[in-house]
Amino acid sequence: MNVIKDRVEVAIIGGGISGVALAYELSKRGVEVAVFEKNFLGSGSTGRCGGGIRQQFSTEENIRLAMESVKIFERMKEELGWDIEYYQGGYLILAHTEEEVKQFEKNVRLQRSLGLDVQWLERDEINDIVPELDVEGIGAIAATYCPTDGHAYPPKAVWAYADKARELGAHIYEFTEVKGIIVENGRASGVITERGETRSRFVVNAAGAWSPIVAEMAGVKLPNKPYRHEIMITEPLSHFLDPMVISFHDNVYFRQTMRGGIIGGWGDPEEKPGFNFASSLKFITTMARLLRKYIPALKPVRVLRQWAGLYDVTPDAKPILGPVKEVEGFLQMNGYSGHGFMVAPMCAVLLAQYITGEPLSIPLEPFSVERFEKEVRGEVSVVG
């Protein structure tokens, strides 16, 4: 086994979409980086996620991160040289109650003010987007639709970033677990791994649901909690479904992959925090009932697999990005709360800008962990 580099500029803990995207953005800027992943790239939450890429959020911070990320996804094939199965089939978000209608009206106003092309659909217009949807059966009374939302195949996005980063000189160590963070005189100055030590000027915590454990290695407390989120996929069908369909009311989302399978998840409101990867009968039976209700034509379609991944949830469902006051040079890139895949490309740009001292495209303060010291207003548009 090759020996790890003893010195780099930036040590990144975690080889999910965040870690490899940051490795690429920094390598592109001529900064030497090393990524440490305890398993294989994308084995944590990225490779388990639904692959949705949406911009329809309820807070300015999340909308801006997502809109900038979509611009990056749009040019990813050209920039990274990989077909990541990116498809802009839109997101259809269903409203079931008057209360939701009011919230969605507010969301759409905010989204439009930030330049997002989002459409308002009345009940009888929903089938224009997805004719197979049983609008009456599910009790939808309105919807919003953003045609530039979409989805991609997450493992390929990870490999695309990783391959390009390596080509530009990044060191990416899979199956290499970080056991400790070196802190000297209040400054993060490297990592201790099971294969030796690497000294660095910055240490980035991109460990997803494991981020609080990693932060603890530097004596830093994070408020993130891991929540299991289950998901399933059916056998492949001919292409019929363009958008991702979401209902916050039913806590459900589903879409069709480029291979043809329907992939979808349901968030159990009774889920307790913990590192639980078990597949449950409760999930698959509930998900089957929801799919049967949403698109009755799916009844004879067979489910191939179910699995679980972890949401890395913060109290306001917004990511934690940037420095912490306790340890200088220890940067956070975590807490995505179930929508990390879709915003990671822009978060990587911001952290690369911060590290190299470039002007920031979006200020980092709203994403600082210090915000939790005061009262926070959270993202409400989440499938939790």
Which residues here bind other proteins, judged by CB under 8 A? 40, 42-43, 47, 155, 159, 234-235, 259, 279, 281-282, 284-289, 291-292, 298-307
Which residue, 40 or 240, has its beta carbon nearer to other proteins? 40
Q: Choose among 153, 162, 155, 157: nearest CA to 20.
A: 162
Amino acid at 260: G
Which residue, 110 or 237, has its beta carbon nearer to other proteins? 237
Q: For residue 170, give both structure tokens.
A: 């990044």
Residues 170/35, Cβ–Cβ less than 8 Å: yes
CB of 382 to other proteins, least distance (A): 24
Cα dihedral 231/234/239/240 (nearest 10)? -70
Which residue, 110 or 288, has its beta carbon nearer to other proteins? 288
CB of 63 to other proteins, least distance (A): 30
- b/e code 7-33 from CB counts within 10 Å (16+ = b): ebebbbbbbbbbbbbbbbbbbbeebbb
CB of 274 to other proteins, least distance (A): 18
Residues forming beta bridges with residue 264, ordered by sequence position: 232, 254
Which residue, 97 or 285, has its beta carbon nearer to other proteins? 285
Which residue, 234 or 314, has its beta carbon nearer to other proteins? 234
Which residue, 284 or 376, has its beta carbon nearer to other proteins? 284
CB of 310 to other proteins, least distance (A): 14
Residues 336/210, Cβ–Cβ less than 8 Å: no
In DSSP notation, 39-104 reads SSTTTTTGGGS--EE----SSHHHHHHHHHHHHHHHTHHHHH------B---EEEEE-SHHHHHHH
CB of 38 to other proteins, least distance (A): 13
Residues 224/314, Cβ–Cβ less than 8 Å: yes
99 Cβ contact list (under 8 Å, min separation 6)? none
Which residue, 75 or 289, has its beta carbon nearer to other proteins? 289
Which residue, 115 or 300, has its beta carbon nearer to other proteins? 300
CB of 384 to other proteins, least distance (A): 20
CB of 141 to other proteins, least distance (A): 24
67 Cβ contact list (under 8 Å, min separation 6)? 55, 114, 115, 116
CB of 318 to other proteins, least distance (A): 29
Residues forming beta bridges with residue 231, ordered by sequence position: 265, 307
